[in-house]
């Protein structure tokens, strides 16, 4: 059974008439298309692929005995 996950898309209409979508929930997600609907469709596909890749990457990192844990600090 596949696990569902909610993500938020930030969609902006560009001056040339295109839409671009990014997400704070999925690192690296960016999608662009001529219509709002197509942008959402592409973003959904990209999100699935990125989350699958990140999940596989996490398994690889844990299986090696090391855990990579990114943090943000202000300097």
Range(s) of the domain holding residue 17? 10-61
Written as six digits, the tokens of 37 are: 């609907």
For residue 56, being part of any structural domain is answered with yes
Taking only the tens place, the pLDDT of each residue in 29-55 is: 999 999 999 999 999 999 999 998 887
> CA-CA distances (angstroms) from residue 44 to 35, 48, 54, 60, 72?
14, 6, 15, 25, 27
Helix (H) or strand (E) holding 60: helix 36-63
Tell me what pLDDT residue 1 has.
62
Entry pTM? 0.71
Whole-number Å distance between alpha carbons of 13 and 34: 9
Tell me what pLDDT residue 3 has.
77
Residue 32 burial by Cβ neighbours in a 10 Å radius (0-12, 13-18, 19+):
middle
**Count of domains observed in the chain:** 1
Written as six digits, the tokens of 6 are: 């909610």
For residue 38, being part of any structural domain is answered with yes
Tell me what pLDDT residue 40 has.
96
């Amino acid at each position: 059974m596949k696990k569902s996950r909610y993500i938020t898309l930030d969609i902006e209409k560009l001056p040339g008439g295109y839409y671009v979508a990014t997400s704070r929930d999925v690192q690296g997600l960016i999608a662009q298309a001529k219509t709002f609907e197509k942008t959402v469709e592409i973003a959904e596909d990209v999100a699935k692929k990125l989350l699958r890749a990140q999940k596989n990457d996490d398994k690889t990192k844990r299986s090696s005995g090391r855990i990579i844990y990114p943090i943000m600090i202000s300097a």
